[in-house]
Amino acid sequence: MKYRWYAIGVMFVIIVGIFFLSPSRQQSPQTVSVVASIYPYGFLAQAIGADDIVVSVIVPPGAEAHDFEPSPKDIAKLEEADVVIANGAGIEPWLDEVQKTRSRLQKPTLIMAPDAVDPHVWLDPNTMKRFAAILSDELSRVDPQRASVYAQRTVVLQKQLTALDARMKQTLSNCEYTSAIVAHDAFGYFGRAYDIKLIPIAGISHEDEPSAKKIAELIDLIRSNQIHAVYFESYADPTLSQTLVEETGVISLPLDPAETISDDDSATTNYLTIMEENRKQLQKGLVCQ
């Protein structure tokens, strides 16, 4: 009898010991799920959450971001996620419905630019720094045990964004040209941040095609020697930019609005490398020192 009580006592100590020493007890009970609407927010979440969270992006690599239609499975994922991070300003036509369901479940949705007319807010690195802080706070609210690692990674990311901004300012402050033509109206915030004018062929979305009159005006502008380069995008129809290049003989270069990432290079490419490549392409096209 005495032996039996002793054995039970030992078992109890072992079980309690396993419970207290187990690493899973020292961490949050489950992994936080984050769903981002478009690539730039997937990048932010990955940079801040790293392996401590599970991130998915609704617009998949290689797909066009404007007016993307999520599947019923995507909608379910959005409704159930611990954190949803979206842009607003019309780039996610499905957002209102998802937000309604999430409010019913008392799950907030992070919407970074709810009132903007132009959705392309992520192209200003300083705005991304602000968004990083907002996302870090939300991750810490949902998963308070990891608050300090989220905060540390946010500081690292913000330093990288500050460095990107400084390089961009330095490059773009001393150029022969201050204007260029771009495929669609994605670079408004970017242009204002660096005091350059990136005049679009198409509108806010790729579908807003220009009139013949607009094309004629762009050709006149190039011929008046104010433009040295026409930028194209991987996800836009190249016909109109090719027409401008053929008509005027200006140079043609790529510029990436970082709305989505290509399937082939998703392992080596991220928001920071895309923006760095944009800086080099702008240096060529605006003839900067």
Handedness of CA 27, 33, 36, 39 (dihedral sign): positive
Residue nearest Zn ion, CB atom distance: 186
User: Which CB, 204 or 272, lies closer to Zn ion?
Assistant: 204
Shortest spacing between CB 259 and Zn ion, in angstroms: 5
Q: Rounded distance, CA 115 to CA 130, Å? A: 16
Which residues contribute to the site for Zn ion (CB under 5 A)?
A: 186
Shortest spacing between CB 254 and Zn ion, in angstroms: 15
Q: Which of 3, 1, 60 is nearest to 35 (CA)?
A: 60
User: Which CB, 186 or 193, lies closer to Zn ion?
Assistant: 186
Return the DSSP state at 112.
Answer: S
Shortest spacing between CB 218 and Zn ion, in angstroms: 19
212 with 173: CB under 8 angstroms? Answer: no
User: Which CB, 43 or 150, lies closer to Zn ion?
Assistant: 43
User: Which CB, 68 or 194, lies closer to Zn ion?
Assistant: 68
Q: Rounded distance, CA 76 to CA 91, Å? A: 19
The one-letter amino acid at 29: P
Shortest spacing between CB 282 and Zn ion, in angstroms: 17
Handedness of CA 277, 190, 178, 208 (dihedral sign): positive
